Amino acid sequence: MALAIFDLDNTLLAGDSDHRWGEFLCEAGLVEAEDHGIKNDQFYADYQAGTLDMMAYLNFVLAPLTGKHRDEVRALQRQFIAECIEPMLLDKAFDLLNQHRVAGDVLLMMTATHAVVAEPVAARLGFQHWLGSGVGIVDGHYTGECDGAPCFQSGKVAHLENWRSVHPEVADNANTWFYSDSHNDLPLLGAVGHPVAVDPDAILRSHAEAQGWPIISLRESMATR
């Protein structure tokens, strides 16, 4: 079976769910808003520049959850999806996902975004399979730390290799599509047979044009669901 992999933020969504989560924490009064907002914006700028220290970011973004029980966080997740993710959904993204489903492909969402955000968003988009950066949970309570290597840059390639080891029925990289907006995903884009740039940043657009990769938009006319 062919495999279709999709990045999440600014690819399937009209925005960045991870950065929006930081804003959501400020709005909900779960963090000191001014300081957290400044740091959240700086980490996002580092991501866009390709200089993000992912471990430092994960420690920052997960710290407010330290000691919280899963049930408490689930309530926050439901609120976040309703208030913050629903406005980011794109009709064209759902159409693209359905095209691959109709073709009989296996769909996999891969994102550097931590699992607190990635899991409910994957469910909202209808993914059976997803990979994101792990979060620590002990006895049902969040540790405030990441769990395992981040699913980021070359880490996505490693995460995909591990995932394939338990899904041997899925095609190899030659028969794999990967859709992404970000130059941070160049390691995986360069590893698959069918890389596609989606509303790409300037660096990825330049690289895609040089390599002759398809460039598409899911945001034209900003048709939201």
**Active-site annotation holds for 199:** no
**Pair 122, 130: CB distance under 8 Å:** yes
**Pair 222, 199: CB distance under 8 Å:** no
Pairing of strands 141-147, 129-138: antiparallel
Question: Among 9, 16, 105, 185, which one carries the catalytic annotation?
Answer: 9
**Active-site annotation holds for 91:** no
Question: Among 7, 181, 185, 199, which one carries the catalytic annotation?
Answer: 7
Rounded Cα gap, residues 225 and 223, in angstroms: 7
**Pair 16, 199: CB distance under 8 Å:** no
Q: Name which of 80, 82, 83, 84 is nearest 72 in CA terms.
A: 80
Q: Name which of 74, 147, 144, 17 is nearest 9 in CA terms.
A: 17
**One-letter amino acid for residue 108 of the chain:** L
**One-letter amino acid for residue 132 of the chain:** G
Rounded Cα gap, residues 43 and 197, in angstroms: 23
Task: Give per-residue burial for 4-41: e unless 16+ CB within 10 Å, then b.
Answer: bbbbbbbbbbbebbbbbbbbbbbeeeebeeeebbebbe
Active site residues: 7, 9
